[in-house]
Every structure is written in structure tokens, then in C-alpha cells.
Amino acid sequence: MTDTAAARVAVYLDFDNIVISRYDQVHGRSSYQKDKASGLKRDKLAASTVDVGAIIDFASSFGTLVLTRAYADWSTDMNADYRGQLVARAVDLVQLFPAAAYGKNGADIRLAVDTVEDMFRLPDLTHVVIVAGDSDYIALAQRCKRLGRYVVGIGVAGSSSRALASACDEFVIYDALPGVPALDPDPTPARKAAPKREARRDADEEPDPQDAATALLSRALQIGLEKDDAEWLHNSAVKAQMKRMDPSFSEKSLGYRSFSDFLRARARDDVVELDESSTTRLVRLK
């Protein structure tokens, strides 16, 4: 996995942009504006839920997350559903209110101003992750690059500007992030909504620590494969990525004497494969 020891990352999410883009991707072009006029239905919102964790976990693969901010009108029902998981991931919620004349919240201006200010305030920032596909962010991406930062863009397929992608050092489509399930090409509303309702109900239950650790390991390995195109990853790099994704992770709290013992247990469960033929221990997804 890429060396991220000295990398320090700032993440900026235009939350309305990414959520509305995902809604339109799932339900059809301009569906959000049409449905908003008659009232957004909870089942359609659930079917187009954005996996915020997948975004933050991927951003953490570039280095230590120094700050993460999400910009939106958090008083709306659509965004309020995300507040709990965002706060749990230490995301700063920046409250924006729509301008009466246009119904826009001005996230692009506020986000851009904050980003440039942070680059001067925090000169040790090495990476800037912009979660939005709007062409309004082209100038921001270019400015960040001129100031010596590595710029990563994350946007939704069908709603991301090609020019913005060109302005970034790296641009990733949300659907391609590790852990994000592929969209059903021709789902019925009922089929799409059911799994999300189940997930919403289960979200209130405390996950089994062993299952949570296994899911964390799987996502860390998927991220390593996506970023470095390497099936086999060093144990130490995998653990470092898991700790960046979840600082509370500890194999000892799960009953294992070492991280290697933790991996051997997952190998017995056919989750991963291990190569311990040399002093350099390697692991990959089964």
C-alpha cells in the first residue's frame, strides 16, 4: 500500500451536491427537483442513500485526516438523516441556508473560501479531497494544485464534470469506491427500497465487534487493491489503513495476541489468504 506516513489530508464534502446527484442517478435525471415539488418519499431517499463511510475511508487511504467538513442545510429531513453517522466520523457540519431567490445554499463559495484559507493556515496539508462533481470547483482544484497540494475529486457518475476530473490529480467515481454496491440496472422501487429499510433498522443495533472488524479488514484490503493494483498487501500497511479508518480498532480487545493472530482467524473463516513464507507477511482477500 502507498506510503502515507507523512501525508495529511483535508476532506470537503458539498453534501447536497453528492446526495442529490446520487438520487438522480438512482431514480432518473432531474428526479430530485420533480419529487421535491410533491414531497420526497422516504423509500426513494432510502434507496439512494450515500455511504458516507465509504467516502471517508477512501480519503483516509491517502494519509491522516486532518479535517473533514460537510456543507449543507442540515435542517432538511434529507440531510438530517445523515447527521448521526457524520458526527460519529468526526465530520464538522457547516450549516448553510438557501438564498430565497434561487434556492441554492452557496456551498461552492463557502467550501472554496474555507479550502484556500485552510491551505494557508495549515501549510503541512499535502492532499485535498473535494467530494462534488460540479464544474464550479474547477478553479478551486486548479488553485490547490498551484499551491502544491495533491487534489482528489470524488463525484457521482452522470453528474460529474469532465473538466473538473481533468483539473484534479485523481478523480474517482463514487460507485467505484470500495464497499459501495453496484446499482441494479433495472430495479423496481420495492426491490431497491427493501434492503435500505433493513439497513436503516439495523443501524440502531450495536454491530458484533468481530463482524465489524472483519468488515473493516475487507474494506481496507479493497482500498489497497483499488489504489495500488496489488492483490497482496503487507500486514503492517493493512493494519495502518484499518487504524486510519477506525482509530478504535484493536486486535487485543477482540481477544487476539497479535494482528497476525487476528488475520489467521479470518483466514480460517475464508475471508482472507495469508502468505507467511517469509519474514514479510502478506495478506489478500480470499
pLDDT tens-place string over residues 114-157 = 999 999 999 999 999 999 988 999 999 999 999 999 999 999 98
Q: Does residue 205 register a pLDDT over 70?
A: no
Confidence class of residue 2 from pLDDT cuts 50, 70 and 90? low
Please state, in angstroms and rounded to a whole number, the distance separating the CA atoms of residues 209 and 33. 40
Beta-bridged to residue 131, according to DSSP, are 13, 154
Q: Which CATH number fits domain 209-285: 3.40.50.720, 3.40.50.300, 3.30.420.610, 2.40.420.20?
A: 3.30.420.610
- pLDDT value for 105: 59
Average per-residue pLDDT in the chain? 85
Q: Give the Cα separation of 91 and 83 in Å (integer).
A: 9
Q: What is the pLDDT of residue 49?
A: 92
Give the confidence band of 190 by pLDDT, cuts at 50, 70, 90: very low
Q: Residue 161 above 70 pLDDT?
A: yes
3-state DSSP helix/strand/coil % of the chain, to nearest 5 = 50, 15, 35
More confident residue, 68 or 246: 68
Using alpha carbons only, what angle is made at residue 168 by residues 175 and 171, rounded to the nearest 5 degrees? 15
pLDDT > 90: percent of the chain? 53
Please list the residues that pair with 95 across neighbouring strands.
72
Asked if 7 and 173 touch (Cβ cutoff 8 Å), the reply is no
All three cell numbers of 235, joined, read: 500486514
Residue 162 has pLDDT above 60, yes or no: yes
| Closest C-alpha among 268, 256, 263, 257 to residue 283 | 263
| CATH level 2 (architecture), domain 8-202 | 3-Layer(aba) Sandwich (3.40)
CATH topology match: 8-202 vs 209-285: no
Which pLDDT score, from 0 to 100, does residue 80 have?
87
Reduce the secondary structure of 176-224 to three states and give it as a string.
HCCCCCCCCCCCCHHHHHHHHHHHHHHCCCCCCHHHHHHHHHHHHHHHH
Residue-level pLDDT at 136: 92
pLDDT at 187 over 80: no
Q: Does pLDDT of 104 surpass 70?
A: no
Kindly list the domain boundaries of the chain, sorted by start residue. 8-202, 209-285
- Considering 103-112, 192-201, 222-231, the range whose residues carry the highest mean pLDDT is 222-231
pLDDT of 195 reads: 42
pLDDT tens-digit series, residues 256-276: 999 999 999 999 999 999 998
Q: pTM score, two decimals?
A: 0.74
